[in-house]
Amino acid sequence: MLDIKNFKTLSRYTDSKILMLVIDGLGGLPHRQTAKTELECANIPNLDKLTQESTTGIATPIQPGITPGSGPGHMSLFGYNLFQYIVGLGVREAICFGIKLSNKDIAIRGNFCTIDNQSVITDRRAGRIPDNDAKKLIKSLSQIKIDGIDITIKHLENHRFVLILNGSDLNPDITPTDPLLNNLHINQASANSPQSRKTATIINKFTQLSLDILKNETLANAIILRGFSQKPNIPKISNAYHINPIGISLYPAYRGIAAMLGMKVTNQGKNFSDLIEIVKNNFNDFDFFYLHYKDTDSAGEDGDFDKKVIYLEKLDTFIPELKTIGFDVFTITGDHSTPSVLSSHSWHPVPILINSDIPTSDKSTHFTETECRTGDIGQIHATDIMPITLAHANKLIKFEPTIPI
Amino acid sequence: MLDIKNFKTLSRYTDSKILMLVIDGLGGLPHRQTAKTELECANIPNLDKLTQESTTGIATPIQPGITPGSGPGHMSLFGYNLFQYIVGLGVREAICFGIKLSNKDIAIRGNFCTIDNQSVITDRRAGRIPDNDAKKLIKSLSQIKIDGIDITIKHLENHRFVLILNGSDLNPDITPTDPLLNNLHINQASANSPQSRKTATIINKFTQLSLDILKNETLANAIILRGFSQKPNIPKISNAYHINPIGISLYPAYRGIAAMLGMKVTNQGKNFSDLIEIVKNNFNDFDFFYLHYKDTDSAGEDGDFDKKVIYLEKLDTFIPELKTIGFDVFTITGDHSTPSVLSSHSWHPVPILINSDIPTSDKSTHFTETECRTGDIGQIHATDIMPITLAHANKLIKFEPTIPI
């Protein structure tokens, strides 16, 4: 199968412009009373009209039955094979909380925990310590100094924090101090390679200094660390697809992912109208716009069917404006399904619509799961959405391999 | 692609219970006169009603155009990538004839054959020698003793038998004595590694002793051996999916496969009603029930369209009873198609139905190949059936890889 790295030679710059609108948690399931999905209940005349002028389909984000997190869902959308391009836990936590990382940073996921007087872990999550208490402990730990190393600690939520180390000759290939179960001792970090010995030593020193600082605390008297990682060395979509991309979202997590994948990200707005202004203001300077709409996912996660319907209807009112900006290709899809009846992300495939100047035999008339399933694009994998979108924008050359792919 | 071994970290124990009914050779093709498949001709009101309350789809067992044997068909159903998890011919023959193997046994597929006075093979199958004659020859060969080796010979059918060796330092990595074509000499077994030299020597000795015993026989005067193998080291579905599985079939071949994959297997009944009793009696002790219905395949193999229809109708009468046992997820599918018009297994995709509390937009009303094809599950690979089934039972966590899969 072609991988994102193969598109370097398959794609080309053209002056056509693409808008990819990602409706977070787009796909749904039927309400138990009405037997209609959120999309089927919503009054979305503009999306329906666009559907009638578009080619449609349905995409499986990861693999049938597998429910993606937001990060994997988005990476799959942008064409990354998730079994090949892995983002370490420390980096993922940092990105999702909007923490910027430099290339040399080692990002580490930390837990506050409790240990008994035999140094055995009694609670790996310190009773999910309240944010305010955790922040005070973070402040104490921030005093720790280690020669030659810049140390940053950022609180995430409850017992969770990110530790970031920057210095020369650091390498994340070490074992975790977190044993992942209660009733075990905190592990010593060990180097998995000669290159990571220094990092292991620093982590063990940091852990010891933390224990000294926290020893009289009652809510959490120790820390455990895991997910040692660096910004992954993955292809940028700008290079891979010969595009000049910008990512536009109200939320740091999605801007973080966009930036990691090589998109320019820009100042956040306050609402979706602001984001559309950003699209318009940057229209001349970019040729690929990832535009993120979050509220549908939040309503689905809350199990609020009616609210998800309302957010779909609200989004629908923006479609004419987006349509008139002048994009050559307008792709609309989601990163995963978030059916309100499940109150969570799910494994169900997600509708896609690709609007362009290229004619289609597609008979879909409503932007729903069931109609898109019968559309001309068919049932595809999410990693196929970028290639199909690029193809509609005339950005892919004919495939005639002359060397091994 | 996620492999069964990846599900160890993706699945979790829950108290939900799954029934997977495997209708052997389920899929069919249209009758040449009526243009209707067996499923389309059958009066199966209970399966049709279940279809209306379920999500449906169609699954390709191996790869388009590839017809599976029963073993591979079942392994695919339970999530095994058949290009990764191989069961050697000797082991497969033993398992399919209900022969129990220990971990150290070397299982070998044997043929009775005929050779001329130049020791050239004239018929690799000895004219498909009748069972009774073959059994007499097996009895003669059972006299063979080799120091330090336990030798067991079991007749399968016609010219086919299994030879099982048990002893210290045995290793199946040797070349076959069966040249696979007539008009060639019986080969000497050769070791492919130093560890298998002893086994090659034993095989050559056994072959020579057999020739001595059989030299005056008229129906078969020699043996040829291949498929040297041991019980494969493959993940158990119990560990891989965190389930406590039981396999229930009237036939030793299927119980053998179930046991090999880590399922408990239990005393056979005499008919399908007995199997349902076994399901009920074990309901509290297991959370995954593989229930096998064989007659549809046998009728298809016989090319008896009407009989396959009758066996589908007979199965249909058991559905209400199965439905009321109280499973959270009830999956119905087949291991492969056995169209009566072909009188054999075939490569055609197989209908699937998953019944659970999760709502669906699925519009299928009849349990047929054509209707299931338009269902919400779509067209999937058979190895996706377990993940989708587990997802419906809430046994999979969200996919957020942080280390290489």
Give CA–CA dist A83/A67, Å, rounded. Answer: 14
Please name the member of B361, B390, B396 whose beta carbon is closest to the beta carbon of A369. Answer: B361
Shortest CA distance from B380: residue in chain A:
A64
B360: closest CA of chain A, how far (Å)? 6
Asked if B399 and A68 come within 8 Å (Cβ–Cβ), the reply is yes
Name which of B399, B403, B405 to mutate to probe chain A: the one with the most chain A Cβ atoms within 10 A of its Cβ: B399
Asked if A341 and B358 come within 8 Å (Cβ–Cβ), the reply is yes
Asked if B378 and A349 come within 8 Å (Cβ–Cβ), the reply is yes
The ipTM of this complex is 0.86
Shortest CA distance from A342: residue in chain B:
B358
Give CA–CA dist A243/A235, Å, rounded. Answer: 13
B3 — contact with chain A (CB < 8 Å)?
A: no
Which residues of chain A lie closer than 8 angstroms to B390, CB-CB? Answer: 65
Give CA–CA dist B312/B295, Å, rounded. Answer: 8
Other Cβ atoms closer than 10 A to B53? 14
Give CA–CA dist B287/B263, Å, rounded. Answer: 11
Give CA–CA dist A243/A255, Å, rounded. Answer: 18
B8: closest CA of chain A, how far (Å)? 13
A74: closest CA of chain B, how far (Å)? 11
* B129: helix, strand or coil: coil
Asked if A37 and B399 come within 8 Å (Cβ–Cβ), the reply is no
A88 — contact with chain B (CB < 8 Å)?
A: yes
B352 — contact with chain A (CB < 8 Å)?
A: no
Greatest alpha-carbon pair distance for chain B in Å reads 72
Asked if A92 and B361 come within 8 Å (Cβ–Cβ), the reply is no
Give CA–CA dist B210/B196, Å, rounded. Answer: 21
B59 φ/ψ angles, rounded to the nearest 5 degrees? -125, 135
Q: What is the DSSP string of B168-224?
A: TT----B--S--SSTTSBPPPP-BSSGGGHHHHHHHHHHHHHHHHHHTT-SS--EEE
Q: At what angle do helices A197-214 and A131-141 cross, to 10 degrees?
A: 120
Which residues of chain B lie closer than 8 angstroms to A92, CB-CB? Answer: 400, 402
Structure tokens at B81: 């990538």
The per-residue pLDDT for A98 is 83
Torsion over CA of B366, B371, B373 and B377, rounded to 10 degrees? -50
Give CA–CA dist B87/B259, Å, rounded. Answer: 13
Q: Which has the minimum average pLDDT: A106-110, B250-254, B276-280, B349-353?
A: B250-254
Query: Quick one: which H or E segment has residue B4?
Result: none
| Contacts for B104 with CB less than 8 Å, ≥ 6 apart | B166, B170, B230
- How many residues appear in chain A? 405
**With contact defined as beta carbons under 8 Å apart, do B316 and B39 qualify?**
no
Please name the member of A65, A229, A379 whose beta carbon is closest to the beta carbon of B390. Answer: A65
Report the percent of chain B where pLDDT is more than 90. 89
Shortest CA distance from A58: residue in chain B:
B378
Reported confidence tier of residue B403, pLDDT bands at 50, 70, 90: low
User: A378 pairs with which residues across the strands?
Assistant: A57
pLDDT in tens, B338-370: 999 999 999 999 999 999 999 999 999 999 999
Please name the member of B379, B391, B398 whose beta carbon is closest to the beta carbon of A65. Answer: B391
Asked if A66 and B10 come within 8 Å (Cβ–Cβ), the reply is yes
Which residues of chain A lie closer than 8 angstroms to B374, CB-CB? Answer: 374
Q: What is the DSSP string of A332-392?
A: EE-SSB--TTTTS-BS--EEEEEESSS-------S-SHHHHHTSTTEEEEGGGHHHHHHHH
pLDDT in tens, A135-164: 999 999 999 999 999 999 999 989 999 999
Whether the per-residue pLDDT at B405 is higher than 60: the answer is: no
**With contact defined as beta carbons under 8 Å apart, do B71 and B392 qualify?**
no
Of B120, B217, B199, B125, which Cα lies nearest the Cα of B163?
Answer: B199
Of B56, B393, B371, B363, which Cα lies nearest the Cα of A368?
Answer: B363
Give CA–CA dist A239/A248, Å, rounded. Answer: 19
B394 — contact with chain A (CB < 8 Å)?
A: no
Whether the per-residue pLDDT at B268 is higher than 90: the answer is: no
Per-residue pLDDT of chain A (405 residues; tens, 9 = 90+): 888 999 999 999 999 999 999 999 999 999 999 999 999 999 999 999 999 999 999 999 999 999 999 889 999 999 999 888 888 889 988 988 888 899 899 999 999 999 999 999 999 999 999 999 999 999 999 999 999 999 999 999 899 999 999 999 999 999 999 998 899 999 999 999 999 999 999 999 999 999 999 999 999 999 999 999 998 889 999 999 999 999 999 988 899 899 999 999 987 789 999 999 999 999 999 999 999 999 999 999 999 999 999 999 999 999 999 999 999 999 999 999 999 999 999 999 999 999 999 999 999 999 999 999 999 999 999 999 999 999 999 999 999 887 766
- Looking up tokens 């377990």 gives B386
| Contacts for A403 with CB less than 8 Å, ≥ 6 apart | none
A380 — contact with chain B (CB < 8 Å)?
A: no
Query: Quick one: which H or E segment has residue A397?
Result: none
Whether the per-residue pLDDT at B253 is higher than 60: the answer is: yes
**With contact defined as beta carbons under 8 Å apart, do A334 and A25 qualify?**
yes
Shortest CA distance from A61: residue in chain B:
B399
pLDDT in tens, B78-94: 999 988 898 888 998 89
User: B113 pairs with which residues across the strands?
Assistant: B222
Please name the member of A86, A229, A379 whose beta carbon is closest to the beta carbon of B378. Answer: A379
- Looking up tokens 């429910």 gives A67
Which residues of chain B lie closer than 8 angstroms to A32, CB-CB? Answer: 359
B167: closest CA of chain A, how far (Å)? 40
Of A282, A299, A246, A288, which Cα lies nearest the Cα of A390?
Answer: A288
A347 — contact with chain B (CB < 8 Å)?
A: yes
Shortest CA distance from A36: residue in chain B:
B361
Torsion over CA of A365, A366, A368 and A373, rounded to 10 degrees? 0
Structure tokens at A367: 């932007």
Averaged pLDDT, B66-85:
93
Asked if B403 and A86 come within 8 Å (Cβ–Cβ), the reply is yes
Name which of B56, B60, B398 to mutate to probe chain A: the one with the most chain A Cβ atoms within 10 A of its Cβ: B398
DSSP tag of B6: G
**With contact defined as beta carbons under 8 Å apart, do B149 and B198 qualify?**
no
Reported confidence tier of residue B1, pLDDT bands at 50, 70, 90: confident
Structure tokens at B200: 């090659």
Torsion over CA of A296, A297, A300 and A304, rounded to 10 degrees? -50
Reported confidence tier of residue B391, pLDDT bands at 50, 70, 90: very high
One-letter amino acid at A226 equals R
| Contacts for B83 with CB less than 8 Å, ≥ 6 apart | none
| Contacts for B47 with CB less than 8 Å, ≥ 6 apart | B312, B315, B316, B319, B332, B353, B367
**With contact defined as beta carbons under 8 Å apart, do B158 and B170 qualify?**
no
A33 — contact with chain B (CB < 8 Å)?
A: no
The per-residue pLDDT for B404 is 59
Other Cβ atoms closer than 10 A to B215? 10
The per-residue pLDDT for A268 is 74
E strands, B234-389, where?
Answer: 245-248, 264-265, 288-293, 329-333, 350-355, 378-381
